[in-house]
Copies of this chain bind each other. A is one copy, B any other.
Amino acid sequence: MKQMVTAKDVAKLAGVSQSSVSRVYFEGAKVSAKTRAKVLAAAEELGYHPNEFARSLITNRTKIIGLVMKGVQNPFYPQVLKQFTTAFKKQGYSVLFVHTQNEELQREDVETLLNYNVAGVIITDATMSLTVAEDFRANRIPLVFFNRKLNTGGFYSVCCNNLNASREVARYLIGKGAKDFAYISGNSDTSTSREREEGFVEILEQSGIPYRIYQSDYTYEGGYQTALNMLEGGHLPAAVFAGNDIMALGVIDAFRKKSIHVPGDTKVIGFDNIDMAGWPGYGLTTWEQPIEKMVEETIHYLMDEIEEYKGFGRALEIEGRLVERETV
């Protein structure tokens, strides 16, 4: 149906061989300036574009990175997506975007990634079963878990240091004189929520400070509802640590609704430092995830492994920082 312009067409018009046309478009190949000029002129006239598929077929490598995302609702992820796409563009890579509904990447999505023979894969905010992960390994496709850790070893993951962060958060809140805490967890099957809980609780236990854990789901509505439930249960803690910012915003709005003053009556702290945390309407004190650094490290690793596959695994943890605003 589609009438593609091929290197052969260009070669004919330019009066050179098809190999020469190829060389003009292949980085690192040598062509004389004269040939190049002829080819470029002919290509321009015909509207030629080298076919990436033919190229990938023969070189046996692609310039595609598979980017898998789950939580597109959380404003944290659009930022991540944007940073990845622009960074990869600079490296000459394109991104194949895969959206998954589930916490675990489905086999069907993996098939797609494998069929396209992607150069590398980033799994954001989701995990996958070990057997599926092994599929990538068998195909020597480098894989990074971004903001999520796999409990089974041997894989590369890039996270914020959640354990340290939540310890710091606990110490900070204690330093502010709070005597009674709540932690609102995200989805319990996520490593981030588990670690944030663990570090937080660890310090509270050490200090003998009472606390309660509320189970939620990393959404605004979840945070809102949880705060309401707290109040209905007659429990207003001196400080609440929400597993992420978007829940913290829900908590603040629920408190506001019930005329509970933040930080006067109770303190609220979040995690991520999404744009909205800085909005004057909220002024949320939070722990900032070093996205830029995390993205950078992810790409660095991926490029190394694409260059030479080693299947190197490691749980990389990058330190974030406290951002003080008005809710503590």
The yes or no answer to A2 lying at the interface (CB within 8 A) is yes
Residue A85 contacts which of B73, B98, B254, B281 (CB distance < 8 angstroms)?
Answer: B98
Does residue A34 face the partner (Cβ distance < 8 Å to B)?
Answer: no
Contacts of A30 in B (CB 8 A): none
A210 touches B (CB below 8 Å) = no
1/0 contact string of A61-75 vs chain B (CB within 8 Å): 110100100001101
Contact at A73–B275, with CB atoms within 8 Å? yes
How many identical subunits does the complex contain?
Answer: 2
Contacts of A254 in B (CB 8 A): 280
Do A52 and B140 have beta carbons less than 8 Å apart? no
Residue interface mask A43-70, B partner, CB < 8 A = 1: 0000101111110110011101001000
Which chain B residue lies CB-closest to A280?
B253
- Find residues 123-148 in chain A having any chain B CB closer than 8 Å to their own CB: 135, 138-140
Please tell me which stretch of A109-117, A186-194, A288-296 contacts chain B, meaning at least 4 of its Cβ atoms lie within 8 angstroms of it.
Answer: A109-117
A61 to B2 CA separation, bound complex (whole angstroms): 8
Which residues in B have their C-beta under 8 angstroms from that of A101?
86
A257 at the interface (CB under 8 A from B): yes
From B1, B56, B95, give the contact of A53 (CB < 8 A): B56
